[in-house]
Amino acid sequence: MERILDVKNLEIDFKTYAGTVHAIRDVDFHLNKGETLAIVGESGSGKSVTVRTLMGLLASNAKIVGGSVDFEGKDIVQMSEKELTHLRGNDIAMIFQDPMTSLDPTMTIGKQVAEPLRLHTKISEKAALAEAVRVLELVGITNAKARLKDYPHQFSGGQRQRIVIAIAIINNPKILIADEPTTALDVTIQAQILELLKEVQEKIDTSIIFITHDLGVVAGIADRVAVMYAGKIIEYGQVDEIFYNAQHPYTWGLLEAMPTLETKSDRLYAIPGTPPNLINPPAGDAFAARNEFALAIDLQQEPPFFQVSPTHAAATWLLDPQAPKVTLPPEIQRRHQIWEEKFANKGVNA
Amino acid sequence: MSEPEVLLSIRNLVQTFNPGKRNEVKAIQDISFDIYKGETLGLVGESGSGKTTTGRSLIRLYQPTSGEIMYAGNDIAKLKHGSKAMLDFRRKVQMIFQDPYASLDPRMKVQDIIAEGIDVHHLAKSEQDREQQVQALLEEVGLNASHATRYPHEFSGGQRQRIGIARALAVQPEFIIADEPISALDVSIQAQVVNLLKDIQDRQGLTYLFIAHDLSMVKYISDRIAVMHYGRLVELASADEVYNHPLHPYTQSLLSAIPVPDPSLERHRKPIAYSAAEAEDDGKQRDLVEVYPGHFVFASEDEVAGYQNAAKESHGTQSVSQEQ
């Protein structure tokens, strides 16, 4: 499969009053052409920081300490501000979480949607507005031509997110980054926006990086999933591998903590404790303190990635041949059973 | 089983903002329901459905336009501000808010945030008693006694929500309105807070009104669920009933939109579209009608038979699990 983006050994620090926060600690991942990669993890795990790096949008107190981001043969980390300006909103575009704050309230939506086109190409205002109408119709804004002169407050939350998507796709970007694009929306509107993203992806043939903490959303939209914890990716794989054959105890915890509509038991599983402080990241596996399956070695030495299949790997000592066999939580057993029945024998992943 | 005791009884509650003006908003349009002692009633619906307004009207943060809110023999809607009865009511009913960042005063220490209600209602005999109460409350919500002298910014979102819960518990309430208490928290922390709320309810016999738009969490915590849309209650039944046998088309649409953490199911899930024009806004007179034991649907006279048949049919296909 052709890779459109390759992130290698990315390390990012933030200078704060309390000390240096090691927000991203050696992150490796890639994005295949035409796929949707979901990055999941809780607040502070580094998922937003990671994708902001891809667009050169880091805060002023952030420093890329090491690593590279290869996009079409060029390293984004080394790019000049001029090169980044050319990249942003053109080759790589972003859809933000809150459609209330990511639109300019004082600018007509026609101008806002046409803006990336006017910035990146030599095009007359008239032609750009005509193009804006086309994209707005593509994202499902009815009567788009008549609404070009309307302002954001005249649209509902769902419509605003559609407009934000229109702005992101007007230049047919090669990569679309969606940072929790549906978190602020109601579930019925969320369903519409997710459907729209799938349609748009097909129509403009783009690759998507989707950030969320909602595993339900991931199950519906992702081809592959990367799970982040404390500034690291700790497990990645195809969507079925993550949901039915997860290997890292943190991924188990996330899956267990989601109440499904079938959840009957009296208590909900909760991952105990809170994520570690990344000013002084713990030695060994950062999740060890919250992990009921932690081994002695987890506290001393960081686990390497163990390959589960050609597309699936997890950084946990439990996959080491010497590790003791553990009894999986019931919910994970149920999922692994689905894996055995449905996927394991299909020969794709021996 | 004995009849459950009614704690709060809402009759024909109407809440209109800016009545008679051009920007009039009919946030709640004539709703009636009961909340039973010791239960958790989940109130769900999309933004603008009136669920938060309902919670705020119940506690008299708004003055209801019309209707009755009966609590322990008093009509809350008629209580005078500053009266003894009002103060007493405000102690018995507490609220937990959505945003754990905005709902705690950043300049106050945790002990003073928690004890503010204790001070207002003179519930502490001495300075020492106050301190002991605060420490017991911190323990109750899973925090350390040493946290008492810290400020809100020193805590994570989940811990702050625990402080908010301790503050609500400080005045020994009977009834807690939790307005989206977990929507601002991460998934792994949501489960911790929900478990905590359940534990406290078991220990103290509290009654909850749990307002949320996340339907999977609501099902988990609620005994009964009320579904709101456009300021009306469109369906009210036990949690299992609502999820396994949803009758109103809006409820069906809402349930069909929930993404499930299961890729195989997600590939086949098709959200059902809902048109309010057919089930709510066609000008017919509608009321909440009991179409199956304990199961109420917002229906017009000519729709009742259809819903009754649908309920029977839905129950016929699965083994009946009545929780009444």
pLDDT in tens, A325-346: 999 999 999 999 999 998 876 6
Contact (CB<8Å) A214/B269: no
B187 Cβ partners below 8 Å, 6+ apart? A42, A213, A214, A215, A254, A257, A258
| Residues B274 and B182 both lie in one domain | no
Q: Are residues B260 and B225 in the same domain?
A: no
User: For residue A256, what is the nearest residue in chain B, using CA coordinates?
Assistant: B188
Radius of gyration of chain A from Cα atoms? 21
Chains A–B, number of C-beta pairs less than 8 Å apart: 119
- Beta strands, E only, chain B: 6-17, 25-36, 40-44, 66-71, 74-75, 93-96, 175-179, 207-212, 224-229, 232-238, 286-292, 295-300
Decide if B237 is inside a domain. Answer: no
Q: Is residue B15 part of a domain?
A: yes
**Rounded distance, CA B178 to CA B194, Å?**
11
Amino acid at position B227, single letter: V
DSSP B37: T
Q: Which domains are present in chain A? A: 1-91+175-350 (3.40.50.300), 101-172 (no CATH)
Looking at residue B34, which CATH number applies to its domain?
Answer: 3.40.50.300
Residue where one domain finishes, among candidates B229, B258, B275:
B229
**Nearest-CB residue to B259 (from A214, A266, A338):** A214
* Confidence at residue A44, expressed as pLDDT on a 0 to 100 scale: 83
For B250, the closest chain A residue by CA position comes to A188
Residues B195 and B300 in one domain: no
Domain count, chain B: 2
Q: Are B211 and B258 found together in one domain?
A: no
Nearest chain B CA: its distance from A102 CA (Å): 19
Condensed to tens digits (0 to 9), the pLDDT of residues B218-255 reads 888 999 999 999 999 999 999 999 999 999 999 999 99
Q: A65, A12 in Cβ contact below 8 A? A: yes
The answer to whether A255 contacts chain B (CB < 8 Å) is: yes
SS3 A15: strand
Q: Specify whether B130 is located in the same domain as B276.
A: no
Nearest CA-CA distance, residue B238 and chain A, Å: 14
Q: Which residue in chain B is spatially nearest to A186 when comparing CA positions?
A: B46
For A312, the token pair is 């699936």
**Partner-chain contact A274 B186, CB within 8 Å:** no
Does the CA dihedral A149-A153-A155-A157 come out positive or negative?
positive
Residues A223 and A36: their CA atoms lie apart, in Å, by: 5
Interface contact A157, partner B, CB < 8 A: yes
Nearest CA-CA distance, residue B195 and chain A, Å:
6
Whether B242 is in a domain gets the answer no
Portion of chain B with pLDDT greater than 90, in percent: 68
Q: Which chain A residue has the Cα nearest residue B259?
A: A216
Q: Does A289 reach chain B within 8 Å, measured CB to CB?
A: no
Same domain, B160 and B273: no
Give the separation between CA A221 and CA A181, rounded to whole angstroms.
Answer: 12
pLDDT tens-place string over residues A18-45: 899 999 999 999 999 999 999 998 888 9
Are B191 and B279 members of one domain? no
- Within this chain, do residues B43 and B170 fall inside the same structural domain, yes or no? yes
Tell me, yes or no, whether B1 lies in a domain. Answer: no
- Relative to beta strand B295-300, strand B286-292 is antiparallel
Give one DSSP letter per residue of A96-150, joined into a string: -S-TTTSS-TTS-HHHHHHHHHHHHS---HHHHHHHHHHHHHHTT-TTHHHHTT-
Nearest CA in chain A to B263: A219
User: For an interface test with A, which of B52, B159, B187, B200 has the most A Cβ atoms less than 10 Å from its Cβ?
Assistant: B187
Residues in chain B: 324
A212-248, pLDDT tens digit by residue?
988 999 999 999 999 999 999 999 999 999 999 999 9
Q: pTM for this structure?
A: 0.87
Last residue of a domain, one of B199, B229, B259: B229
Residue B241 lies in a domain: no
Classified as helix, coil or strand, B79 is coil
B254: nearest CB among A188, A194, A244: A188
Does B173 lie in the same domain as B71? yes
Judging contacts by C-beta atoms under 8 Å, the chain A residues touching residue B198 are 266-267
Say yes or no: B216 and B276 in one domain: no
CB < 8 Å to A258, chain B:
187, 216, 261
Please tell me whether residues B208 and B307 are part of one structural domain: no
Domain boundary residue, one of B171, B196, B229: B229
Please report how the helices A187-204 and A157-169 are oriented relative to each other, as an axis angle in degrees rounded to 10.
Answer: 20
Q: Is residue B64 part of a domain?
A: yes
> For B191, which residue in chain A has the nearest alpha carbon?
A270
Q: Which of the residue ranges A182-186, B133-137, B318-322 would you say has the lowest mean pLDDT? A: B318-322
Beta-bridge partner residues of B40: B208
- Residue A5 confidence (pLDDT) above 70: yes
Percent of chain B with pLDDT over 70: 97
**Residue A247: per-residue pLDDT:** 97
Domain that holds residue B313: 247-324
Q: Which residues of A touch B213 (CB under 8 A)?
A: 186-187
> What residues in A contact B272, CB-CB < 8 Å?
none
CA angle in degrees (0–180, nearest 5) for A321-A326-A329: 140
**Mean pLDDT computed over A55-69:** 93
Q: Which chain B residue shows the shortest CA-CA distance from A220?
A: B266
Chain A 60-99, CB below 8 Å of chain B: which residues?
Answer: none
Q: Under an 8 A CB cutoff, do A269 and B191 touch?
A: yes
Average pLDDT over residues B267-271: 85
Which residues on chain B place their C-beta less than 8 Å from a C-beta of chain A? 46-47, 156-159, 186-192, 194-195, 198, 213-217, 219-220, 243, 253-255, 257-267, 269, 271, 274
Residue with the larger pLDDT of the pair B199 and A350: B199
pLDDT (tens digit, 9 = 90+) per residue, B103-127? 999 999 999 999 999 999 999 999 9
Contacts of B258 in chain A (CB under 8 A): 187, 216, 261
Domain assignment present for residue B239? The answer is: no
Q: What is the least distance, in Å, from the CA of A204 to any CA of chain B?
A: 22
Res A350: pLDDT: 39
Answer for the pair B280, B234: CB distance below 8 angstroms, yes or no.
yes
Distances in whole angstroms, Cα of residue B288 to Cα of each of A88, A133, B227, B304, B317: 53, 44, 11, 10, 25
| Rounded-to-integer distance, Cα A6 and Cα A93, Å | 17
How is residue B291 annotated by DSSP?
Answer: E
Determine contact, residues A4/A207, Cβ cutoff 8 Å: yes
Q: How confident is the model at residue B280 (pLDDT cuts 50, 70, 90)?
A: confident
Among B133-137, B248-252, B318-322, the least confident range: B318-322
Chosen from B161, B182, B185, B186 to mutate, greatest number of chain A CBs within 10 A: B186
Whether B188 and A255 lie within 8 Å, measured CB to CB: no
In angstroms, what CA-CA distances link B257 with A214, A223, A261, B4, B238? 14, 20, 12, 33, 20
The span from the CA of B165 to the CA of B159, in Å, is: 10
Q: Is residue B221 located within the same domain as residue B257? A: no
Does residue B238 lie within any of the structural domains? Answer: no
CB contact under 8 A, B187 and A214: yes
